[in-house]
Structure 1
């Protein structure tokens, strides 16, 4: 007997039934999506079936219900990090913005931790950029392969924990070759930032497409997030940009608001020129390391400023700054004090001893 029928009250859809709905541009329910994605993650479908399902979802356009159902499965199968009721923040992005910038959110986490907020960052290796968060951290001397208990201890002692995605979402290995062969964005590109193994309820999340801001905020609302700021620069950056406007969706007290952030309302100069993006682009890990270390050591420049702005947003959602502007000023002060660089050094020392 199929026990999932008894548990859910409705039978699992067959693959063909789900595909027929999708190709007819009909949406799956949360439970239907959960059933299909779980079959994919448990390696119960053929390569052709997996490719067909995720491509059909992409072509139709994933709904809030479908994304939520997929997140349900990822959270069910994850190897989690139990932090109890501790207040933690995650800084991450979907990637895929094609900008090839240095690892801004990874650098920002050291500023956030040095400012008094515990960070549980979730990330992996490069997919669409020159350097992923895991690649950068390894280049800085960090051991990224800590066990869950060690990640918890690391957060306790250094204020930072890094959860290398393949170690926590082991079922993703069944999908990885198919995603790589397809070479297009699928629902799995947006699931990572929604499935932090430590269940962070406060988050700064960059997205590669403005159209995803409100739907992903709604997914996070359904899943119980407390305060989240989702951002997308009008120039395509999946970070808060210092050039032009940054679109945002903010989830706070169970309400979602949308708006624009720009240098003026962040309290910054509006003189970041056309060379701004060239100055923060990288071609390899060494480029990224250089910019990160400059930012954390308070070397004046675009790298430091964009790290401070994004760290400031995380301080705002983390609750230690009443406004975004206050968070940004606090982040600049933390960098100037030298505490952010010390935070990096403590993190490297702890992880490399494991």
Structure 2
């Protein structure tokens, strides 16, 4: 380990913030594999205890984006929707389901995600259970997106240096700042995003980081029930980034779009097999009302963030029509078929 990295550990151990250049240096050392798993774990824990600043996190993202493999496609009008994970809610894969509703409404989706780290089923796990092929490299991801207007980019294929971080993350089994950074590292450099966060503070920080990094349009959000999605059990705090970042969150109530409140139990999922079954049911109009509604609600925010609708109300109507017309299910089936085809190419 370098003397510099030792000094960064010393600094954060006494709750001192790193300067942006120090934060960049520390992340560069980690991504180069120059520090041990235990030292990575010490750094992650130290940052968690100290509390990460927006300046530190922005510096980390810049280094990680520079180290990533870029997916070169036309991102105009496209959106990424994902959550940080780490909310311990046990819900089904809502943003993964919403991906097909958004695509069914005519909005391209550049989704970035991973296997589960802190839940029973990550995006990768549930897509695999649906018989899609989520493990595609750069070239095949570009082919799939150009063919279908949808792609799932499996994080390890585009952030190879993250292999130096995963042993520490898995051993710790705790939420770390990487939960926050993951959604900010889209390999296609998508301009429009909806990012669910595990806390209001995390949502606020992520909005500021996206603003620092010239994102065009984004919603970052956290629900009052702790969900890293827009919830139906109550209200959600939402930060909006358009031409500029709003200074404070708005409190969104799903009743404003005509949705009824539900109990948290109605949104629960299980392992990848259970969650894949729920997604199929939503797409085929056979799910519970609560399951369908939370998917269309989150899809509405993505459609609006992408600029495909003038208002959230219009976006919500597009999302509902996507499901009711069968377009969302058609996009799911197309994604499964074409991802299999591309994988064999």
Structure 2 segments unaligned to the other structure (5+ residues): none
Is the 1:13–1:36 contact (alpha carbons within 8 Å) kept by the matching residues of 2?
no
Residue 246 (structure 1) aligned to one of 228, 233, 236: 236
* 1:282 equivalent in alignment to 2:269: yes
| Pairwise CA distance, 1:88 | 1.6
Cα distance between partner residues in 1 of 2:203 and 2:270: 28
Aligned CA distance change for structure 1 residues 85 and 188 (closer, same or farther; 3 Å): closer
Does 2:73 match 1:83?
A: yes
1:193-245, CA deviations, whole angstroms, 9 ceiling, x for partnerless residues? 01011111101110011111211101000111011001111011110001111
Alignment correspondent of 2:297:
309
- 1:95-174 matched pairs, under 5 angstroms: 95-174=85-164
CA gap 1:258/1:13 in 2 versus in 1, 3 angstroms: farther
Task: Write the mapping of 1:188-337 to structure 2, written as runs, cut at 5 A.
Answer: 188-256=178-246, 257-265=248-256, 267-270=257-260, 272-273=261-262, 276-299=263-286, 301-337=289-325
Q: Secondary structure at the match of 1:291?
A: helix
CA distance in 2, matches of 1:18, 1:201: 33
1:8 alignment counterpart? none
Contact 2:54 2:209 in 1 (8 A): yes
- Aligned mates of 1:111, 1:173 — CA distance in 2: 32
TM-score normalised over the length of structure 1: 0.92
Q: Deviations over 1:249-303 (max 9, x none)?
A: 11110222411111222x2243x34xx3222212222211121111112235111
295-304 vs 68-77, which deviates more? 295-304
- Distance, in Å, in 2 between the alignment partners of 1:289 and 1:247 is 28
Q: State the TM-score, normalizing by the size of structure 2.
A: 0.94
Q: Which whole-Å deviations, capped at 9, do the CAs of 1:88-145 have from their partners, x for residues lacking one?
A: 2101010011111111000101111111111110111112211110011011111112
**Matched residue count:** 339
| Range that drifts further, 113-122 or 253-262 | 253-262
Shift of 1:192: 0.7
- Hey, what's the Cα distance between the residues in 1 that align with 2:188 and 2:182? 12
> For the residues of structure 2 that align with 1:85 and 1:340, how far apart are their CA atoms?
21
Aligned partners of 2:207 and 2:245 also within 8 Å: no
Establish whether residue 30 from structure 1 lines up as the match of residue 12 from structure 2: no
Q: Map Cα deviations across residues 161-211 of structure 1 (whole Å, 9 max, x no partner).
A: 110111111111111111122222222121110101111110111001111
3-state SS of paired residue (2:255): coil
Indicate conservation of the 8 Å contact 1:243/1:262, yes or no: no
Q: For residue 72 of structure 1, what is the aligned residue in structure 2?
A: 62
Measure the CA separation in 1 of the matches of 2:254 and 2:123: 26
